[in-house]
């Protein structure tokens, strides 16, 4: 029983991380209809920026984390301006190629700048404590992750539902053309979308670094792919769906390893099998709407 | 008049073919081992580039699963052609399943088997996913390639897991790699002239219009994807026969990226472009290797930066995509 509870806590924690990253995918897809392949690498950049901030500056850790998220947010905007904006009118396949090229560029630039060897993330002492209740003992970070995620989600929900920029964002994802005719500054809204997505990815990257303190330039690839799958499972373009998908994926992965230890090697395959099953049963995802294409 | 033009075109194709064969014959005799290996790689990448161009360029689908299909082809060829005593040496961690450990096939049937298995998996993955839009295909094929890698790493008694396979007979020579490349080029020319080729292009240009004209989208997409996977499997098999050693980590997404680079630089939907760019990119990949390694010129020591080569290639790709949105040698 205690064991099950422990796995449950771990699963929720991992699921929250996936949810944070999946939101970035789903928001960009909602507006530009583009799989931002480089999103996972933005996540990696976030983790590395926090690493350098903690190692080489004397700024307190919480400020480093906030600054990291903001800087990464601006890097997200830069990525959009360089790799996607020139291709706004180009065929979709061209933009997808640009996205995969951007992802590859960031990964290899990571190898050149940060070095290919794994780096140990310097965890602030606060997160090193272990909490025990009953027979369950987990690190502080396991609790911090879901809490931070929930706070950010509430903030994001408020932003999208109640502010004018949020409304513009929703308008843009409903109908790109009509929204631009209504005087919405498309470039600004797209920049803000990339900022938010990259900000959340950086938060995810930092918490990932604390949880699994080993940084590698290619660390963003697998989580990136999985989180895109989480977004698809939940229904791409739908933020609630992305969160739901993230939790399903995180919990599913942990439970698979916990209940069927023989399949541990196949852990990374789980997400992809889930993807194919979902695509077969409900292609629009759990919370996605059916879109009909007009001629 | 038209007949004459066609006649001329046929003649010039024949001339090019003969010149290529003579050139290959001369190169085969004169080049050293290292250069021959690059020449072989060029041929294999022509096949691989064309196979991806069929899917991505001609039919307008976006598949990123090439590494996975190549892995299937490569492992099939490796397992089927490896001599029996060699198998025992390779599988010291865990013996190979008896069903596979006692067979030894000639190269050609093994290569075809590799292609067929890759094509079969292409069909199995394509049939459900191709009903959806391209984006899903991209992510599903990317995922599939990763799954294949994970599975090959874990099936110790079939693929020897992460240790990989060593001592695969080095059957691939210039005639194999370029022979298959030439057959692929000719077949692609033939295919693209026929009704299937026209249907593929129609789907790429406008799915809805193509469907209204009575083209079965699903059938043609699956066909293009399955055949592309088959060719990728053949390419992988040739690669195994050339390198002699394979392991699951060879078939990472980097491999798919290289082929994508070839296709994009050559122009989506251009057979000539893909052929030329496959040769140039393959040679450049080798020529720029010095960027990753340290070199000494006299007393001067230049520290190489690992990863620099791929940074340059990704920048080339990005610039090519952003500046020339249609590719370099686009045919009308």
Interface test with B, best of A30, A81, A84, A108 (most B CBs within 10 A): A108
Give chain A's length: 295
Q: Which two tokens stand for residue B291?
A: 């960027």
Maximum Cα–Cα distance for chain B, whole Å? 70
Element (H, E) at B216: none
3-state secondary structure (DSSP) of residue A116: coil
Q: What are the phi and psi torsion angles at B296 (to 5°)?
A: -115, 120
Rounded to whole angstroms, what are the CA distances from A160 to A12, A26, A180, A193, A228? Answer: 25, 14, 18, 11, 21
CA–CA distance, A100 with A202 (Å, rounded to integer) = 20
Domain residue ranges of chain A, discontinuous segments joined by +: 30-226
pLDDT of residue B48: 95
Q: What is the pLDDT of residue B185?
A: 92
What pLDDT does residue B328 have?
44
User: Closest partner residue to A295 among B139, B208, B311, by Cβ?
Assistant: B208
pLDDT tens per residue across all 332 residues of chain B: 567 777 777 788 888 888 888 888 888 888 888 888 899 999 999 999 999 999 988 888 888 899 999 999 999 999 999 888 888 788 877 777 877 778 888 999 999 999 999 999 999 888 888 877 767 788 888 888 888 888 898 888 888 888 888 888 888 888 899 999 999 999 998 998 888 988 988 888 888 888 888 888 889 999 999 999 999 999 999 999 999 899 998 898 889 988 998 998 888 888 888 999 999 999 988 888 777 776 666 666 666 677 788 888 888 888 888 877 654 445 44
Positions of E strands within A135-279 = 136-139, 214-215
ipTM: 0.81
DSSP assignment of B111-171, as one string? Answer: HHHHHHHHHHHHHHHHHHHTTS-HHHHHHHHHHHHHHHHHHHHH-HHHH-GGG-EE-----
Question: Would you tell me which residues 180-239 of chain A have a C-beta closer than 8 angstroms to some C-beta of chain B?
Answer: 217, 221-222, 225, 228-229, 232
Residue in B62, B132, B208 nearest the CB of A96: B62
Does residue A205 contact residue A44 with C-beta atoms inside 8 Å? yes
Do the chains contact at A93 and B56, CB–CB below 8 Å?
yes
CB A246 within 8 A of CB A18: yes
Residue in the structure block whose two tokens are 């298995």: B117
Token representation of residue B307 = 């990863």
Other C-beta atoms lying within 10 Å of the C-beta of residue A260: 10
Question: In the structure encoding, which two tokens stand for residue A286, read together?
Answer: 């759990």
Closest approach of B317 to chain A, Cα-based (Å)? 6
pLDDT confidence of residue B326: 55
Specify the DSSP class assigned to residue B250: G
Quote the pLDDT of residue A91. 77
| CA distances in angstroms from A73 to A46, A146, A265, listed in the order given | 9, 21, 34
Binding-site residues on chain B for chain A (CB distance < 8 A): 56, 60, 62, 64, 125, 128-129, 131-132, 134-136, 138-140, 142-144, 146-147, 150-151, 153-154, 208, 253-254, 257, 260, 264, 268, 305-308, 310-311, 314-315, 317-318, 321-322, 325
Q: List, for chain A, all residue ranges whose pLDDT scores fall below the cut of 50.
A: none
Coil, strand, or helix at residue A224? Answer: helix
Buried b (16+ CB within 10 A) or exposed e, B186-210: eebeebbeeebbebbbbbbeebeeb
Closest CA to A90 of A24, A33, A42, A172: A33
Question: pTM here?
Answer: 0.86
Mutation site, A269, A275, A277, interface B, largest B CB count within 10 A:
A269
- Residue B263 CB-half CA count within 13 A: 29
User: What interhelical angle do A92-114 and B308-323 show, nearest 10?
Assistant: 160
Per the CB < 8 A criterion, the answer to whether B66 and B148 are in contact is: no
**Contact present, B260 and A100 (Cβ < 8 Å):** yes
> Chain B residues with CB inside 8 Å of A216's CB?
none
Closest residue in B to A90 (Cα) is B325
How far apart, in whole angstroms, are the C-alpha atoms of residue A10 and residue A142? 7
Please give the pLDDT value at position B332: 40
Report the C-alpha gap between A197 and B22 in whole angstroms. 57
């Amino acid at each position: 029983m205690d064991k099950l509870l422990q796995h449950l806590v771990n699963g929720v924690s991992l699921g929250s991380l996936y949810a944070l990253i999946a939101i970035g995918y789903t928001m960009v897809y909602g507006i530009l209809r583009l799989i931002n392949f480089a999103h996972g690498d933005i996540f990696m950049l976030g983790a590395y920026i926090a690493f350098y901030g903690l190692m080489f500056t004397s700024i307190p850790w919480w400020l480093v984390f906030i600054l990291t998220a903001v800087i990464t947010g601006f890097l997200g905007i830069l990525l959009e301006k360089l790799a996607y904006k020139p291709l706004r009118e180009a065929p979709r396949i061209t933009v997808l190629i640009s996205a995969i090229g951007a992802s590859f560029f960031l990964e290899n630039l990571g190898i050149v700048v940060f070095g290919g060897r794994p780096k140990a993330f310097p965890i602030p002492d606060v997160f090193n404590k272990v909490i025990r209740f009953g027979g369950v003992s987990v690190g502080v970070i396991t609790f911090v992750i879901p809490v931070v995620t929930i706070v950010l989600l509430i903030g994001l929900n408020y932003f999208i539902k109640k502010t004018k920029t949020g409304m513009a964002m929703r308008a843009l994802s409903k109908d790109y053309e009509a929204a631009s005719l209504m005087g919405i500054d498309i470039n600004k809204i797209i920049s803000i979308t990339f900022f938010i997505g990259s900000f959340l990815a950086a938060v995810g990257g930092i918490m990932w670094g604390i949880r699994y303190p080993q940084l590698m330039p290619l660390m963003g690839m697998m989580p990136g792919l999985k989180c895109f799958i989480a977004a698809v499972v939940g229904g791409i373009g739908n933020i609630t769906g992305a969160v739901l998908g993230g939790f399903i994926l995180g919990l599913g992965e942990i439970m698979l390893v916990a209940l069927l230890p023989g399949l541990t090697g196949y852990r990374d395959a789980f997400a992809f099998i889930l993807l194919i099953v979902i695509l077969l049963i409900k292609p629009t995802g759990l919370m996605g709407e059916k879109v009909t294409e007009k001629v | 008049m038209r007949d004459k033009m066609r006649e001329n075109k046929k003649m010039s194709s024949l001339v090019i073919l003969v010149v290529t064969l003579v050139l290959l014959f001369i190169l085969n005799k004169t080049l050293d081992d290292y250069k021959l290996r690059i020449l072989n790689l060029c041929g294999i990448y022509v096949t691989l580039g064309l196979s991806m161009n069929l899917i991505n360029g001609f039919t307008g689908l976006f598949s990123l699963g090439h590494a996975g299909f190549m892995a299937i082809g490569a492992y099939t060829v490796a397992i089927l052609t490896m001599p029996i005593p060699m198998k025992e040496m390779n599988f010291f961690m865990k013996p190979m399943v008896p069903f596979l450990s006692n067979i030894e096939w000639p190269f050609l049937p093994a290569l075809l088997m590799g292609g067929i298995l890759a094509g079969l998996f292409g069909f199995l993955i394509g049939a459900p996913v191709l009903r959806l839009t391209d984006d899903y295909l991209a992510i599903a094929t990317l995922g599939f390639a990763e799954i294949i890698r994970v599975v090959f790493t874990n099936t110790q008694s079939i693929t020897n897991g992460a240790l990989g396979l060593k001592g695969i007979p080095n059957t691939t020579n210039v005639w194999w790699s370029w022979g298959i490349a030439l057959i692929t080029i000719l077949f692609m020319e033939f295919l693209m002239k026929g009704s299937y080729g026209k249907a593929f292009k129609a789907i790429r240009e406008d799915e809805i219009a193509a469907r209204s004209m009575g083209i079965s989208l699903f059938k043609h997409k699956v066909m293009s994807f399955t055949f592309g996977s088959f060719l990728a499997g053949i390419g992988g098999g040739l690669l195994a026969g050339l390198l002699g050693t394979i392991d699951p980590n060879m078939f990472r997404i980097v491999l798919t990226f290289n082929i994508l680079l070839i296709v994009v630089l050559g122009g989506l939907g251009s057979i000539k472009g893909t052929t030329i760019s496959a040769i140039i990119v393959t040679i450049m990949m080798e020529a720029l290797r010095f960027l990753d390694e340290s070199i000494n010129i006299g007393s001067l020591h230049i520290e190489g930066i690992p990863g620099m080569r791929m940074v340059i290639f990704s920048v080339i790709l990005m610039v090519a995509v952003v500046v020339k949105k249609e590719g370099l040698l686009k045919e009308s």
